[in-house]
């Protein structure tokens, strides 16, 4: 079967997404259609923001995202390529578990253009903003597709690294940035007293491919592109995990600087970056006037594939800082800079077949087998289809003509089907039927997108045991992947309950164990029987039940049997209206347990094999009861805390851990039942509420004093706290 191969540079997504191109949707503020569209776009963008920023797992390409955002901005009254005030900028990367830090100078975003005409409009606008005769001296550099970061250097030493966040306040990622080997923690030579240096954290294509290959082998879902993997890595709560994945950084600008006149131009600042031996952008071109800037953009487009970082455009900026000040900025974008985005390269080809790949843990991933096509310098013959839902959503069928694109220039993806070219009689792809045809006995667990083989593979068994024994579960010392592997290989343990039946002699029969190490493992197993209930709940490996949810469940149900017997109504309740009628809405009874988690728990406990596992663990003597949040006789036993504001010394997660370990409980909202509110910097409405209700307010030092058992008397109240110097922490 031969096929015509076609290459397209721009694809009109507007039709596929079912909305009008921006030039046809002239805003009509009275129109309910427009209002509905704005609402729908906001919801859609918010969903994609969560997928992109928080889950590092986007469903659409950046190009498609930009198109949606542009449409919204247009409807809100902006002009394409020149987003007026009131337009919306991309989302917020802040995540739970990180201290929040305010940038001294806000981190602005960049407006995008895609075509020469839009670039010309940027130049015209800039000329109008500058005094007549002011030269348009630009610098042109790559737009790095990474995660924006602001590094504070004080007296030449790196003291803090913060993500962009919402532009004003970001997440403190100092510890994770400390793992980037190529970033010096001290500047060489003269440095300003204090400077916020701005740049992007990224991952090289090679590292991205390495990690994805590992994930593929382990049957885990793949990351879509290096940017998302870098973002996910920066947001790992454990810096030791971050260190295992190699991150890089590249710097291009600065925010706050003391003294303020340290640099008169970006080119002077760039030269300083080089002097300080910091990683600066490798393409940095001065360009006088719009034509020279356009030439530099083209030159960059030709060279960008050789850069180590993923580049999706060029950034054109006025070089002179006084000229930048004259041009000014909206609250979101500077008028003196623009991102010229390169259109993603796409190609059309025929999808020969959809094959199903089985990963080592039994996860089944569909793959598009394509007629080979040239794309961004390589020949592409396979593309990921992610999962069954993705195939259904895009209605991808075998034999279809499809448009493929390289996301972040790396993994080819099927963007869409060219429906007009579909041959009559091509049937929709039936994922379940194909599994049966291939003799794959698989299930799709409730609430999951992935189909998995029913019988666990050896790798799955090893992972399951290692999870059970890990620090955040039953914390069995010296029990890692290697020990789990040895036990599975020898047939001594297939399921966690088997661990408790292993004898010393059996262990001594394995290469891994000698007399002492066998004794150590046996006593570690004994100790694990007395762990807190939440650890056991987490160890069971119920899908969607992470450590925090396990703690909330333990606190609520108090005994494992109550959790195992719980029905939907024990997790969520229907809201009842004033007149007793049932409302459509529901609320959680257990903190953090939404519909998906509730269903997942019920499904898990309804499986006979899981029930059998629970019974065997009971027989082995594991602890099945107690709130298990630290000792009941702890210094904070029975006390409820609410944490608010930025806790700069401890950080939220650590504060929570310490409180729980001392028998206390952390709640999300302040009520008369709250015993203490711990307020950090910039505490907001929760602090106000505490004061209103007369709930004692502590600062971090006060909390530490309570934890140390010094009693409330030593805990400082807010007023005193404010007069204190902040607690200094050693960062490096
Ligand atoms: S300048 C006020 N230069 O792209 C100027 N930003 O889409 C704003 N980015 O928020 C930053 N490469 O995170 C600048 N060479 C570069 C960049 C760059 C990537 C990021 C930055 C910004 C985002 C806007």
Q: Look at residue 78 and tell me if it is in a domain.
A: yes
Q: Is the pLDDT of residue 19 over 60?
A: no
C-beta 83 within 6 A of ligand 1? no
| C-beta of 165 in contact with ligand 1 (< 6 A) | no
Q: Best substitution site from 63, 110, 197, 198 to test ligand 1's pocket, by max atoms within 8 Å of Cβ?
A: 110
Of residues 23 and 242, the one with the higher pLDDT is: 242
* Range 337-358 average pLDDT: 90
Last residue in a domain, options 293, 325, 341: 341
Supply the CATH number for residue 696's domain. 3.40.50.10190
Q: Whose alpha carbon is nearest atom 15 of ligand 1?
A: 143
Same domain for 444 and 462, yes or no, is no
Q: Mind listing the pLDDT tens digit for each residue in 91-126?
A: 688 887 789 999 999 999 999 998 899 999 999 999
Please tell me if the CB atom of residue 141 comes closer than 6 angstroms to any atom of ligand 1. yes
pLDDT of residue 585: 65
Least confident of 83-97, 249-263, 678-692: 83-97
Smallest Cα–Cα separation from 115: which of 338, 276, 444, 395?
A: 338
The rounded percent of the chain whose pLDDT value lies above 70 is 84
Q: Please give the pLDDT value at position 94.
A: 86
Ligand 1 atom with least separation from CA of 253: 1
Mark whether 548 and 575 lie in a shared domain: yes
Same-domain status, 365 and 337: no
Does residue 600 sit within a domain?
yes
| Residue 438 covered by a domain | yes
Atom of ligand 1 nearest to the CA of 329: 2
CA pair distance 554, 533, nearest whole angstrom: 6
Confidence of residue 20 (pLDDT cuts 50, 70, 90): very low
Structural domain includes residue 629: no
Q: What is the pLDDT of residue 1?
A: 34
**Nearest to 644, CA basis, from 659, 666, 622, 618:** 666
Return the ligand 1 atom nearest residue 143 CA: 12
297 ligand 1 Cβ < 6 A: no
Average pLDDT on 656-665 reads 81
Where residue 3 falls among pLDDT bands split at 50, 70, 90? very low
* Residue 109 CB less than 6 A away from ligand 1: yes
Say if residue 292 is in the same domain as residue 429: no
- Atom 16 of ligand 1: nearest residue by CA position: 143
Inform me whether the pLDDT recorded for 13 exceeds 70: no
List C-alpha distances in Å: 616 to 229, 423, 454, 497, 606. Answer: 39, 56, 21, 6, 16
For residue range 699-725, list pLDDT tens digits in order.
888 888 888 776 554 333 333 333 222
Cα(10) to centroid(ligand 1), Å: 24
The mean pLDDT value for 590-615 works out to: 83
Of 235-249, 500-514, 622-636, the range with the lowest mean pLDDT is 622-636
CA of 109, closest atom in ligand 1: 10
Supply the residue whose CA is at minimum distance from atom 13 of ligand 1.
148
236 and 328 share one domain: yes
Q: Is residue 630 part of a domain?
A: no
Please indicate whether residue 110, judged by its CB atom, sits closer than 6 Å to ligand 1: yes
Query: Where is mean pLDDT largest: 295-299, 310-314, 460-464, 658-662?
Result: 295-299
**Span from the CA of 202 to the centroid of ligand 1 (angstroms):** 13
The structural domain count of the chain equals 6
Give the torsion sign (CA, 184, 186, 188, 194).
positive
pLDDT value, residue 627: 55
Is the same domain home to 448 and 584? no
Q: Could you tell me the CATH number of the domain that includes residue 540?
A: 1.10.150.20
Q: Reply yes or no on whether 406 is catalytic.
A: no
Give yes or no for residue 83 having a pLDDT over 50.
Answer: no
pLDDT in tens, 248-302: 999 999 999 999 999 999 999 999 999 999 999 989 999 999 999 999 999 999 8
Please name the helix (run of DSSP H) or strand (run of DSSP E) that holds residue 658, with its range, or none: helix 652-661
421 and 327 inside one domain? no
Among 63, 140, 143, 333, the mutation site with the greatest number of ligand 1 atoms within 8 A of its Cβ is 143
Does this model's pTM top 0.75?
no
94 CA to middle of ligand 1, Å?
A: 18
With a cut of 50, say whether residue 26 has pLDDT above it. no
- Asked whether 642 lines ligand 1 (CB < 6 A), one says no
In SS3 terms, 460-502 reads as HHHHHHHHHHCCCCCCCCCCCHHHHHHHHHCCCCCCHHHHHHC
Is the pLDDT reported for residue 85 higher than 50? no
Answer yes or no: is the C-beta of 338 below 6 A from any ligand 1 atom.
no
Q: Where is pLDDT greater, at 205 or 675?
A: 675
Residues 178 and 312 in one domain: yes
The CATH number covering residue 390 comes to: 2.40.50.140
Residue 625 inside a domain? The answer is: no
Are 556 and 424 in the same domain?
no
DSSP letters for 187-204:
-SS---SEEEEEEEEE--
Say how far apart CA 53 and CA 58 lie, in whole Å: 8
- Whether ligand 1 lies within 6 angstroms of the CB of 252 is answered as yes
**Does residue 634 lie within any of the structural domains?**
no
Q: Taking residues 462-487, what's their average pLDDT?
A: 92
Nearest atom, ligand 1, residue 334 CA? 2
Given 398, 430, 453, which residue is the final one in a domain?
A: 453
Per-residue pLDDT, 672: 81
Confidence of residue 54 (pLDDT cuts 50, 70, 90): low
Candidate from 141, 165, 200 with most ligand 1 atoms within 8 A of CB, to mutate: 200
- Domain span at residue 34 reads 3-86
Q: How confident is the model at residue 132 (pLDDT cuts 50, 70, 90)?
A: very high
Q: What is the pLDDT of residue 615?
A: 94
How many A from CA of 340 to the centre of ligand 1? 11
The answer to whether the CB of 166 is under 6 A from ligand 1 is no
How many Cβ atoms from other residues are within 10 Å of residue 327's Cβ?
Answer: 19
CA of 143 to the centre of ligand 1 (A): 6
- How far does residue 406's CA lie from ligand 1's centre (Å)? 22
Calculate how far, in angstroms, residue 614's C-alpha sits from the geometric centre of ligand 1.
52
- Tell whether ligand 1 has an atom less than 6 A from the beta carbon of residue 506: no
pLDDT at 5 over 90: no
Cis status of the peptide bond prior to 259, with omega within 30 of 0: yes
140 lines ligand 1 (CB under 6 A): no
Name the catalytic one among 4, 100, 128, 143: 143
Query: Is 136 close to ligand 1, i.e. is its CB under 6 Å away?
Result: no
Ligand 1: distance of its center to the CA of 110 in Å? Answer: 6
Give me the pLDDT at residue 728, please.
23
Asked whether 315 lines ligand 1 (CB < 6 A), one says: yes
Q: Whose CA is nearest to atom 17 of ligand 1?
A: 143
Q: How far is CA 728 from CA 159, 534, 681, 716, in A?
A: 11, 33, 14, 17
Pick the atom of ligand 1 nearest to 148's CA: 13
314 close to ligand 1 (CB < 6 Angstrom): no
Task: Assess if residue 581 is contained within a domain.
Answer: yes
Quote the pLDDT of residue 4: 29
Same domain, 200 and 279: yes
Q: Whose CA is nearest to atom 23 of ligand 1?
A: 109
**Which segment of 13-22, 163-172, 177-186, 360-369 scores lowest on mean pLDDT?**
13-22
Per-residue pLDDT at 254: 97
**pLDDT (mean) for 74-83:** 52
Domain containing residue 298: CATH number: 3.30.470.30
Q: What is the pLDDT of residue 594?
A: 79
Q: How far is the CA of 169 from the centre of ligand 1 (A)?
A: 17
Please, what is the average pLDDT of the chain?
82
Which DSSP string corresponds to 427-452? PPP-HHHHHHHTT--EE--TT-S-EE
Residues 11 and 111 placed together within one structural domain of the fold: no
User: Which of 214-218, 330-334, 443-447 is the most confident on average?
Assistant: 330-334
- Identify the CA nearest to 613 among candidates 461, 732, 479: 461
* Same-domain pairing of 258 and 337: yes
Calpha distance 441→452 (Å, rounded): 8
Ligand 1 atom 2: residue of nearest CA: 108
Cβ-contact 442, 452 below 8 angstroms: yes
Higher-pLDDT residue of 35, 672: 672
Q: Is 60 in the pocket of ligand 1 (CB under 6 A)?
A: no
Last residue of a domain, one of 86, 116, 144: 86
The finding on whether 334 has its CB within 6 A of some atom of ligand 1 is yes
Closest CA to 341 of 306, 370, 376, 304: 304
Q: Token digits for 487?
A: 């036990």
Residue 256, pLDDT score:
95
- Closest residue by Cα to atom 12, ligand 1, is 143
In a 3-state reduction of DSSP, which class is residue 666?
strand
φ and ψ at residue 588, rounded to 5 degrees? -75, 140
**Sign of the torsion angle spanned by Cα atoms 22, 23, 25, 28:** positive
């Amino acid at each position: 079967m031969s096929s015509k191969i076609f290459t397209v540079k721009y694809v009109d997504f507007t039709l596929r997404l079912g909305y009008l191109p921006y030039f046809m949707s002239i805003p009509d503020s009275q129109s309910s259609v427009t209002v509905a569209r704005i609402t729908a776009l906001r919801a859609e963008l918010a969903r994609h923001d969560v997928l992109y920023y928080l889950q590092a797992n986007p469903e659409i390409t950046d190009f498609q995202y930009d198109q949606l955002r542009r449409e919204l901005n247009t409807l809100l009254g902006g002009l394409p390529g020149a987003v007026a005030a009131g337009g919306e900028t991309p989302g917020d990367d802040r995540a739970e578990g990180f201290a929040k830090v305010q940038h001294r100078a806000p981190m602005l975003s960049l407006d995008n253009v895609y075509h020469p005409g839009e670039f010309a409009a940027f130049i015209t606008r800039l000329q109008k903003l500058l005094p007549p005769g002011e030269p348009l001296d630009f610098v042109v550099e790559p737009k790095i597709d990474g995660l924006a970061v602001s590094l504070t250097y004080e007296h030449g030493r790196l003291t803090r690294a913060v993500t962009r966040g919402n532009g004003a306040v970001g997440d403190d990622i100092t510890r994770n940035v400390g793992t980037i080997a190529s970033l010096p923690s001290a500047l060489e030579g003269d440095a300003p007293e204090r400077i916020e240096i701005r740049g992007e954290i990224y991952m090289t294509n090679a590292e991205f491919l390495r990690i994805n290959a590992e994930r593929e082998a382990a049957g885990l879902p793949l990351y879509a592109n290096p940017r998302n993997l870098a973002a996910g890595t920066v947001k790992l709560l454990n810096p030791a995990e971050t260190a295992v994945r190699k991150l890089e950084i590249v710097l291009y600008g600065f925010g706050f600087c003391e003294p303020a006149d340290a640099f008169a131009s970006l080119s002077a600042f760039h030269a300083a970056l080089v002097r300080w031996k910091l990683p600066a952008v490798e393409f940095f071109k001065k360009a006088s006037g719009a034509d020279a800037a356009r030439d530099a953009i083209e030159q960059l487009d030709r060279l960008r594939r050789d850069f180590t970082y993923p580049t999706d455009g060029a950034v054109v900026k006025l070089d002179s800082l006084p000229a930048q000040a004259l041009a000014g900025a909206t609250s979101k974008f500077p008028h003196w800079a623009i991102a010229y985005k390169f259109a993603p390269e796409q190609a059309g080809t025929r999808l020969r077949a959809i094959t199903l790949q089985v990963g080592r843990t039994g996860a089944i991933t569909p793959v598009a087998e394509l007629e080979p096509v040239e794309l961004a310098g390589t020949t592409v013959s396979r593309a990921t289809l992610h999962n069954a839902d993705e195939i259904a959503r895009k209605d991808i069928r075998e034999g279809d003509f499809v448009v493929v694109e390289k996301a972040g220039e790396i993994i080819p993806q099927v963007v869409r089907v060219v429906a007009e070219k579909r041959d009559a009689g091509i049937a929709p792809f039936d994922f379940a039927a194909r599994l049966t045809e291939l003799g794959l006995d698989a299930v799709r667990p409730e609430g999951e997108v992935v189909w998995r083989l029913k019988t666990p593979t050896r790798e799955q068994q090893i992972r399951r045991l290692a999870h059970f024994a890990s620090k955040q579960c039953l914390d069995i010392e010296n029990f890692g992947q290697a020990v789990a592997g040895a036990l599975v290989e020898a047939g001594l343990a297939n399921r966690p309950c088997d661990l408790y039946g292993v004898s010393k002699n059996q262990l001594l029969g394995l290469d891994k164990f000698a007399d002492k190490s066998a004794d150590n493992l046996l006593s570690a197993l004994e100790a694990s029987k007395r762990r807190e209930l939440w650890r056991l709940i987490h160890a069971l490996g119920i899908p969607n039940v992470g450590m925090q949810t396990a703690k909330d469940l333990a606190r609520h149900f108090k005994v494992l049997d109550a959790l195992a017997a719980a029905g939907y109504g024990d997790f969520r309740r229907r809201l009842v209206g004033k007149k007793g009628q049932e409302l459509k809405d529901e609320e959680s009874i257990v903190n953090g347990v939404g519909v998906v988690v509730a269903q997942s728990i019920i499904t898990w406990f309804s499986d006979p094999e899981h029930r059998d596992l629970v019974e065997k663990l009971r027989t082995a003597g594991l602890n099945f009861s107690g709130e298990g949040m630290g000792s009941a006789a702890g210094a904070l036993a029975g006390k409820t805390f609410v944490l608010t504001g930025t806790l700069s010394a401890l950080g939220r997660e650590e504060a929570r851990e310490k409180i729980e370990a001392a028998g206390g409980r952390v709640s999300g909202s302040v009520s008369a039942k709250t015993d203490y509110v711990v307020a950090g910097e910039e505490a907001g409405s929760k602090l106000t509420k505490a004061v209103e209700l007369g709930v004692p307010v502590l600062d971090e030092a006060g909390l530490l004093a309570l934890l140390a058992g010094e009693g409330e008397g030593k805990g400082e109240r807010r007023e005193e706290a404010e007069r204190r110097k902040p607690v200094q922490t050693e960062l490096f």
